[in-house]
Amino acid sequence: MPDAETIRYRAADKGVPAAVDLLDQTRLPGEVSRLVCTELSELHDAIVRLVVRGAPAIGIAAAYGVTLARADASATPQQVRQSYRDAIDYLATSRPTAVNLFWALDRMRGLVDSVRDEAISELPGQLAAEAARIHEEDRVMCREMGRHGAELLRGCETVLTHCNAGSLATSAYGTALAPIYYLHEHGHSLQVFADETRPLLQGARLTAWELSQAGVPVTVCTDSMAGGLMRRGMVDAVIVGADRIAACGDVANKIGTYPLAVLARYHSIPFFVVAPTNTFDRELESGELIPIEQRDEAEVRHASGHVSGPMTVPQQAAVINPAFDVTPAELVTAIVTEQGVIEKPSAAKIQQHFAGNA
């Protein structure tokens, strides 16, 4: 795993404001630098710009972000609560698809709503502690997903992954990359194909960077190569993360995941999804109800995914840029959570998984 921590937090101390310190993922792999956010708007912007990204990491960063809200020293308990509620509502507008964001913010809201007037001065400390718990719980869940997922990959030599669902997308270790790290630590190194992942290249820039740092053999392929590699028998399994999983097992993940699942089915290759239970949105019956983020068209129009890069699309042509797609449950071989494996996911099996571990 990379040495650099994805998210760090510094509590407010002696007049120095609290800070959320992020590894700046927009600059990787060329530059390893950090962005320190002390203002809510800075953190909101960091989530929008993908300085911090990946469903679990967005949730953790936002939870810490709530502590950046400030109320006047003279504020009443009601006003203090309101300033935190406003911060939570504001952070919830940063990105719409990863449900981990809303899950983490709901936990923070629970604390704000339950604090008594007499204990209001303790609220900032309690919020920082809750965010740290969310962060620590994610570390534990990632390890567990690694352990469970490794069982599914034992017979494999090569896997293909899409986007980045590794250490950079979580507290550490990752979701889809967790079984790969687990096996590597136990002496079995898989050969990983990292899909480049257009338009923002999370696979080429981030997955390839973090796996290389860990000494895991990784080969970057463009998104359009996946089918050809499968046809040539070069991929034993596909393994990806998720941003939101509906009650029936439909999976929203980075755009380009659905075609991989179709290709995997055609080539009789298992298609695994690895995600913690807080990535499930059991209130949504179907994946069609998952809100899909539409991002700036500049990401598609320019080679670097940014207006500073050379144009790759003529100005007159329209472009679309949905950041995620939905893979129907029927194409998913298994979903791995921190609690175990759901084979051939369905509404009933998912319900059972949650009930069995309640």
Ligand X SMILES: CSC[C@@H](O)[C@@H](O)C(=O)COP(=O)(O)O
Q: How far is CA 315 from CA 257, 305, 310, 318, 337, in A?
A: 28, 15, 12, 8, 44
Query: For ligand X, which residue of 66, 68, 105, 169 counts as binding (CB under 6 A)?
Result: 169
Interface with ligand X, residue 270, by CB under 6 A: no
Contact segment (CB under 6 A) with ligand X among 10-18, 151-159, 166-174, 184-192 equals: 166-174
Shortest distance, position 75 Cβ to ligand X, whole Å:
35
Q: How far is CA 356 from CA 221, 329, 339, in A?
A: 40, 20, 9
Instruction: Judge whether 89 counts as a catalytic residue.
Output: no
Q: Is 54 flagged in the annotation as binding?
A: yes
Q: Is 95 flagged in the annotation as binding?
A: yes
- The residue assigned the tokens 């059972």 is 352
Q: Is 172 flagged in the annotation as binding?
A: no
Residue whose CB is less far from ligand X, 54 or 124: 54
Containing 159, the helix (H) or strand (E) segment is strand 158-161
Q: Which among 195, 243, 250, 325 is annotated as catalytic?
A: 243
Contact segment (CB under 6 A) with ligand X among 38-46, 52-60, 117-125, 297-305 equals: 52-60
Environment class of 25 (CB within 10 Å of its CB; exposed 0-12, middle 13-18, buried 19+): buried
Ranges within 176-205 binding ligand X (CB under 6 A): 202
Nearest C-alpha neighbor of 272 from the set 287, 251, 286: 251
Helix (H, G, I), strand (E, B) or coil at 166: coil
Contact segment (CB under 6 A) with ligand X among 84-92, 236-244, 327-335, 340-348 equals: 236-244
Phi, psi angle pair for 268, to nearest 5°: 55, 45
- The residue assigned the tokens 């040495």 is 3
Query: For ligand X, which residue of 98, 150, 335, 350 counts as binding (CB under 6 A)?
Result: 98
What is the x/- site pattern for ligand X, positions 144-163, by CB under 6 A? -------------------x
Q: Is 352 flagged in the annotation as binding?
A: no
| CA–CA separation, 53 and 51 (whole Å) | 6
User: At how many degrees (to 10) do helices 99-114 and 55-66 cross?
Assistant: 30
Q: Is 202 flagged in the annotation as binding?
A: yes
Query: For ligand X, which residue of 205, 254, 301, 353 counts as binding (CB under 6 A)?
Result: 254
Neighbours of 328 (CB within 10 A): 17
The answer to whether the CB of 242 falls within 8 A of the CB of 206 is no
Query: For ligand X, which residue of 19, 37, 40, 56 counts as binding (CB under 6 A)?
Result: 56
Interface with ligand X, residue 66, by CB under 6 A: no
Number of residues that bind ligand X (CB under 6 A): 19
| Known binding residues for substrate | 53-55, 95, 202, 253-254
Q: Write out the catalytic residue numbers.
A: 243
> Which residues belong to the annotated binding site?
53-55, 95, 202, 253-254
Q: Which residues bind ligand X (CB under 6 A)?
A: 50, 53-56, 98, 163, 165, 169-170, 174-175, 202, 241-243, 253-254, 323
